[in-house]
Structure 1
Amino acid sequence: MNGVFIDSNVFLEFLKGEEKAKVLLEKYLGPEGCINDIVFSEVLFVYIKAETGRESYELKGRPELMKSVELDHIFELLGRYRMLDVGEVVASEAGDLIRKYGLLPNDALIAATPAGTTA
């Protein structure tokens, strides 16, 4: 599969105003740049925590906090990149990576998602 997989950290650094992240995201804008649902979730989650100043356990069951965060620009940003599926093969490979390298589950799922190269 052709493309460059873009990790959550690149998007988060871009949102902080980091110029290197901006250049990277512009370079791989469109179908050449790839993410998966884990990256989508992580970017949203970290952004929501930063915007609310709350921890995850404080956000759970507090829909008013979730609704208070403007997310349209995050959805638009992430929507510029091709979404890759995390299926059985990726999950199986992620399990192998967890056992072999001691990765956390989301990191293993990201590492196991094929895109060509990783940014």
Structure 2
Amino acid sequence: MSDGGFMGPPWQMDWALKAQAARDALPEHVRKIVDAARAELVTAKDPYIRGIEADAELPPTMRVEPARSTSPKGPRVLYFDTYRGWLRYIFMHRADDPQIVVEEIFWQ
């Protein structure tokens, strides 16, 4: 637990079944890239990665942005492998067990 009773990084991460199946179907070298992206996401101070230059801490091959600009606390898209792939996730901000849930993943 961090100050104030809220848990902080590293965040728990869960995968929707369809997203997990899509990840498992990727070539091994791509799964390693996805695992590196996952590691960056679960250790981020703010999993929404908000603000100006907030994703400056991410490697240059990754970027995060809202899935919809009208929903700043809604789903986010994490681009990885220099925009060859992306995963869409939501952050369930709960006091007892906050977690990131990956809803969809894609790589080309």
**Which structure has greater helix proportion?**
1
Instruction: Select the structure with the greater relative contact order (CA < 8 A; seq sep ≥ 6).
Output: 1
One fold, TM greater than 0.5?
Answer: no
**Which structure has greater strand proportion?**
2
TM-score by length of 1: 0.28
TM-score by length of 2: 0.30
